[in-house]
Amino acid sequence: MDSSYFSNFNQLIFAMDYFRLLPEGCISEILSFTSPKDAVSSSAISRGFKSAAESDVVWEKFLPSDYQHIISKSDSLLVSSSKKELYFSLCDSPILTDGGKLMFRVSVI
């Protein structure tokens, strides 16, 4: 292996040490500016990232801003224990609104 590999690896390890110093809420806020795919992938980095990536702060940003209004018009009861669960539920199973006249689902990017 060439020396650039070790240099890049050392830089990554150095950066990871700084991430450990950040509060979980700060990491959650950072992850909320990424994508759902990146948030899920970041869970593998560390326990701190996994916990931050599960946060409602992260997943609420991935939902449409008017999701509560849309859900309130749903013809069926939508139950979820977290915003992440709600996000994936709306990706996998569209909901019907307005007496079955409209369908809503979250598009996976």
Per-residue pLDDT tens digits for 34-84? 999 999 998 888 888 899 999 999 999 999 999 999 999 888 888 889 999
Asked if residue 3 has pLDDT above 60, the reply is no
Do 6 and 42 lie in one domain? The reply is yes
What's the confidence (pLDDT) of residue 65?
A: 94
Write the burial class of residue 86 (CB in 10 Å: 0-12 exposed, 13-18 middle, 19+ buried): buried
Does residue 99 surpass a pLDDT of 80? yes
Q: Can you give the pLDDT at residue 17? A: 61
pLDDT band, very low/low/confident/very high, at 11 (cuts 50, 70, 90): low
Q: Are residues 107 and 69 in the same domain?
A: yes
- Please check whether residues 72 and 41 belong to one and the same domain: no
Same domain membership, residue 104 and residue 52: no
Query: Based on the domain organization, do 44 and 4 belong to the same domain?
Result: yes
How would you write the chain as a 3-class SS string? CCHHHHHHHHHHHHHHHHHHHCCHHHHHHHHCCCCHHHHHHHCCCCHHHHHHHCCHHHHHHHCCCCHHHHHHCECCCCCCCCHHHHHHHHHHCCEEECCCCEEECCCCC
Instruction: pLDDT band for 6, please (50, 70, 90 cuts).
Output: low
Q: How many domains does the chain have?
A: 2
Query: Are residues 52 and 4 both part of a single domain?
Result: yes
The whole-number pLDDT of residue 86 equals 94
- What mean pLDDT is reported for the chain? 85
CB 104 within 8 A of CB 90: yes
- pLDDT value, residue 41: 92
Together in a domain, 76 and 37: no
Which residue range is the domain that position 109 belongs to? 63-109
In this structure, the answer to whether residues 109 and 67 fall within a common structural domain is yes
Same domain, 29 and 73: no
